[in-house]
Structure 1
Amino acid sequence: MSVLEPFGTRLRRAMDERGPLCVGIDPHASLLADWGLNDDVAGLERFSRTVVEALADRVAVLKPQSAFFERFGSRGVAVLEKSVEEARAAGALVVMDAKRGDIGSTMAAYAETFLHKDAPLFSDALTVSPYLGYGSLRPAVELARESGAGLFVLALTSNPEGAEVQHSVRPGDDGGPNVGARMLAHLARENAGEGPMGSFGAVVGATLGDLSSYDLAINGPLLAPGIGAQGATPADLPRVFGAAVGHVVPNVSRGVLRHGPDAASLRASADRFAEQIRAAVAAV
């Protein structure tokens, strides 16, 4: 198995050269309809190909949401495989948004699916859920290191329900760090000594307001959903992320995708977001 440069190194370079923007590939039924496409495999394929052809040569990261492909069965997964292959060939880094999380051999199998260099669905990074305990992610951490891939661990997510788990503290640990803060601390240890940026990132919502009570300096990327349709703007990023804003990879999905199926409109929207994000980061 050939080994890539570490994901963090490749991501830092892509962010510097193309701008710190991640665009989701989220072919849900309503968006297919908005594009005038049928909610079937042919519509899925047309949608995904259009996004990849329009954006993969200019944005730093594309993030397909696996669920929207899996719902069509094996033919949908085949479209996902092709989309990943073509996006990476055009120079975009691919973050597979699958949010996998399990224990033991099952977690190892998920890791083999998305993080083994020779797997059909190999992606540059994978979103994972640590809520069976951070240690349950160890098979994915180890394989990511071996293959030069990365992980984005759910830490402080933008959905309101997330606080029920992520803001909780362990029994008898009153006043101690909550679960979200513990995830950030684990990631800081994974990335210790890595440069220019570690490969193990956190998912931290851009809609969460002031996060100054959290130590976001994990020496790794912070994938930040919530820009656009969820209400956050690029101008909000310094206020939310403070000094860590230079490691933030804002994710925009509907805010860009609503401009399809016209490829030029997709590109223009992505370029606008990338420039606005650059300006917000530069201001800090």
Structure 2
Amino acid sequence: MPESAAAGQRPLARAVLSSGPRQPFGSHLAAAMAARGPLCVGIDPHPGLLADWGLNDDVAGLERFSLTVVEAVATLAAAVKPQVALYERHGSAGMAVLERTLAAASDAGVLSIADAKRGDIGSTMAAYADAWLRDGSSLAADSVTLSPYLGFESLRPALDLAAESGRGVFVLALTSNPEGKSVQHVGGSESVARRIAEAAAEENRRYAGAMGPAGLGSVGLVVGATIGAALVELGLDLDAVHGPILAPGLGAQGATPADLRSTFGAAYPAVLATSSRGILAAGPTIAGLRSATEATRDGLLKG
């Protein structure tokens, strides 16, 4: 277990995240994972979870839920991941809560991943990049999830702005939903997912000099924790990506720490495992959320 994780305190977070010029996201994330363990806590304010917490499905409930999660887990997790759609459903007031949630994460010294899954072309993609990755934007997160299914190169505005601003991106590559196979697995040994992984690897090679001693680039992939043998079947070498692997599905969706080690093999040190419902169900108390987060993190560290 990292020394600071065992102590239950994360005093280096602010120094890592906000001291001096912004360093590349990959370097920030590698330092956070080394200090706290490879856990990302999803902030998913589903109506059912709000009700379970005794909160109304409104803007006030949304804000109470979100800020409580940040307060509880900020010193325990390497990152938090707000699910953007669950804020959008509350309209402009909900997006204002998302802005405050991202600001709270920054103030608390924990990295943020805006789970927006944006993807488009030309000026529209540039506008998405401007919203989520530009210094000074009220929605700017440390990183954002992107969908490459209009072609990986359609993401160029976001890729370039992320590199310029020291932020990161996580590109959807191999998701665990059954429908994903109809696109991502097409091509067999030359599958769509493999081409996405290779494109991400090429982006990280472009900025290899900025990776830092941990060797983690700022262009990551989203690969489901419950994909089973798909990496082997499709011949994906995630270790060669040299970027972080965001792996949703730990806990309530069925994946265990042992599954993660088996699934990702040599790439496991780069895996940032995500748990949402498995931790959030332990709310609404700070103590309950912290206990669930610590148990989940410790399980990852023990393998």
TM-score of the pair, normalised by structure 1: 0.94
Instruction: Identify the match of residue 200 of structure 1 among 219, 238, 257.
Output: 219
Match of 1:219 in 2: 242
Cα offset, 1:160, TM superposition: 1.1
Q: Identify the match of residue 132 of structure 1 among 150, 155, 169.
A: 150
Other structure's SS at 2:33 match: helix
Deviation of the 1:229 alpha carbon: 1.1
Q: How far is 1:34 from its partner?
A: 0.7
How many percent identity over aligned positions?
Answer: 57
For structure 2, the 5+ residue unaligned runs are 1-19
SS of the residue aligned with 1:203?
strand
Aligned residue for 1:132, secondary structure, equals: coil
Q: Distance in 1 between matches of 2:21 and 2:145?
A: 20
The residue that corresponds to 1:177 in the other structure is: 190
What is the SS of the residue equivalent to 1:164?
A: helix
Q: Secondary structure at the match of 1:58?
A: coil
For residue 3 of structure 2, what is the aligned residue in structure 1?
none
Output aligned runs, 1:115-130, within 5 Å: 115-130=133-148
In the TM superposition, residue 57 of structure 1 has moved relative to its aligned partner by 2.4
Tell me which residue corresponds to 2:13. none
User: 1:165-216: CA deviations, max 9, x gaps?
Assistant: 00012xxxxx641000100000111111234210000000110113233111
Alignment of 1:62 onto 2:80: yes
**Alpha-carbon distance in structure 2 between the residues aligned to 1:133 and 1:267:** 40
Match of 2:41 among 23, 34, 43: 23
Partner of 2:85: helix, strand, or coil? helix
Match of 1:89 among 107, 112, 118: 107
Letter aligned with residue 141 of structure 1: L
1:268 to 2:291 alignment? yes
User: What is the match of residue 172 of structure 1?
Assistant: none
Q: Shift of residue 89 of structure 1?
A: 1.1
Q: Aligned residues, how many? A: 274
Name the residue aligned to 1:237. Answer: 260
Moved over 4 A (4+): none
CA distance in 2, matches of 1:191, 1:19: 23
Which residue of structure 2 aligns with residue 191 of structure 1? 204
Matched, 1:112 2:130: yes
Could you give the per-residue CA deviations for residues 38-64 of structure 1, whole angstroms, max 9, x where no partner exists? 111111011011101111122110000
Deviation by residue 1:144-168 (Cα, 9 ceiling, x = unmatched) = 0010000000000111111110001
Deviates more, 1:186-195 or 1:146-155: 186-195
Query: Aligned equivalents of 2:37 and 2:299: distance in 1?
Result: 10
Instruction: Answer whether contact 1:3 1:146 (CA < 8 A) is retained.
Output: no
Per the TM alignment, residue 238 of structure 1 is displaced from its structure 2 partner at its CA by 1.2
Deviations 1:53-103 (A, max 9, x none): 111122110000011111111111111000100111111100000000000
Measure, in 1, the Cα distance between the counterparts of 2:275 and 2:200. 24
The one-letter amino acid of 1:124's match is D
Counterpart of 2:183 in structure 1 is: 165
Give the residue type in structure 2 aligned to 1:241.
F
Aligned to 1:78: 96
Q: 1:202 is paired with a residue of what secondary structure?
A: strand
Q: What is the root-mean-square deviation in Å for CA atoms of aligned residues?
A: 1.1
* Structure 2 letter corresponding to 1:209: G
Distance 2:74 2:85 in 1: 21
CA distance in 2, matches of 1:245, 1:56: 23
Does residue 1:148 correspond to 2:127, yes or no? no
Aligned partners of 1:125, 1:253: CA distance in 2, in Å?
18
For 1:128, give the aligned amino acid: L
- Report Cα offsets for 1:128-147 as digits up to 9, x if no partner: 00000001000000000010
What SS does structure 2 have at the residue aligned with 1:229?
coil
